[in-house]
Amino acid sequence: MSKVELPPYVCPYEGNLLAGVDEVGRGPLAGDVVAAAVILDPARPIEGLADSKKLTEKKRERLFDEIRERALSFAIARATVEEIDRLNILQASLLAMRRAVEQLSVQPEFVLVDGNRKPDWSYACDTVVKGDGRVAAIGAASILAKVTRDREMVELDTRYPGYGLAGHKGYPTKAHMAALERLGPSPIHRQSFAPVKQLSMDLV
């Protein structure tokens, strides 16, 4: 069964102070959820922007540097594991996106949010389903967020060895689940997520 191609997104805003915002890390069992916001510079276009999940690591790393160099403004923010457990992952993701946009050095006139839910804010905005593959600014934000979070998970792997965080980045792979059963949850695991919650209860 072939995938349905979404039509090109037509933005109602035609100015230059357009921010794209996206988050990475809703599905993992461990680590923060990371969001980024980007206002691209029309005078300094960046080729190859796309959904970060569809790019190779090498290309993401190259674009990460290029976006930071050429964008009019960018910001990276997060919601912590504690906030995820307290608020739930959806609300924590929206919080991280709101923080990213609020931290931009240039305030946007319009914001495009990846997905179908927007944060609670006063910005003029629109949501774009699969926006990271349809809107350049959202694609740029997804790249900044993913590279940032992936690097953090590699670093956390050295602090919490044995879980394989550098490889699976906290997602619930078979290897990760086996490590969780063997070692139990670490301080960076999301206690509100069912697999971690059940293991924690089993260990009591």
144, part of any domain: yes
136, part of any domain: yes
Q: State yes or no: 65 annotated in a binding site.
A: no
pTM: 0.95
Structure tokens given for 38: 């980007």
Q: Please write the tens of the pLDDT for every residue from 33-86.
A: 999 999 999 999 999 999 999 999 999 999 999 999 999 999 999 999 999 999
180, part of any domain: no
Q: State yes or no: 32 annotated in a binding site.
A: no
Looking at per-residue pLDDT, the higher value among 57 and 8 belongs to: 57
> How many distinct structural domains can be found in the chain?
1
Q: State yes or no: 23 annotated in a binding site.
A: yes
Report d(CA 47, CA 180) in Å as an integer: 40
Q: What is the reported pLDDT for 203?
A: 63
68, part of any domain: yes
Average pLDDT over residues 183-190: 96
Return the number of other C-beta atoms located less than 10 Å from residue 195's C-beta: 16
198, part of any domain: no
67, part of any domain: yes
140, part of any domain: yes
* CATH code: domain of residue 89: 3.30.420.10
171, part of any domain: no
Report d(CA 134, CA 116) in Å as an integer: 14
Quote the domain boundaries for residue 74.
Answer: 18-160
> Contact at 8 Å (CB) between 19 and 38?
yes
